[in-house]
Amino acid sequence: MSEPVADWTRGQPGLAYQECHACGHRWTFARRFCPACGATGTETRAASGRGIVHALTTVARAPSEALRPHAPYTILLVDAAEGFRLMAHGEGDLAIGDPVTVRFAPFGDGLVPVFRKDLP
């Protein structure tokens, strides 16, 4: 058994992804089988935390009381350098196509990935 990869979904400051041995598809959020082809041979790896903004939206009204102090906040779809897409928070002035890097911040009950634009 190899060491588990740190992942924010377990409260750790890291971004894990999985890759399918059969078809090469990559995704976040641990699963027992590949969401693209159904194969069960998968590997979990640590992502670099770098990516490109694919889409963004501003959440003006938080979905829960715990999150209300954070609103308004920016939610992004990021195309990670490793080839998977994830939803995450964004901070600062962001636009589609911007190169971004992740950090991890407390939000509600846990840690969430927050992407910030790379400095030129």
Applying CB under 5 A, the residues found at the interface with Zn ion are 20, 22-23, 25, 34, 36-37, 39
Q: How far is CA 4 from CA 17, 43, 44, 51, 79, in A?
A: 12, 11, 8, 23, 23
* Shortest spacing between CB 62 and Zn ion, in angstroms: 36
Nearer to Zn ion, 21 or 68 (CB): 21
* Shortest spacing between CB 80 and Zn ion, in angstroms: 17
Give per-residue burial for 18-50: e unless 16+ CB within 10 Å, then b: bbbeeeebbbbeeeeebeeeeeeebeeeebebb
Type of residue numbered 106: P
* Shortest spacing between CB 23 and Zn ion, in angstroms: 3
Nearer to Zn ion, 82 or 91 (CB): 82
Separation between Cα atoms, residue 52 and residue 60, nearest integer Å:
23
Separation between Cα atoms, residue 21 and residue 38, nearest integer Å:
11
* Shortest spacing between CB 77 and Zn ion, in angstroms: 21
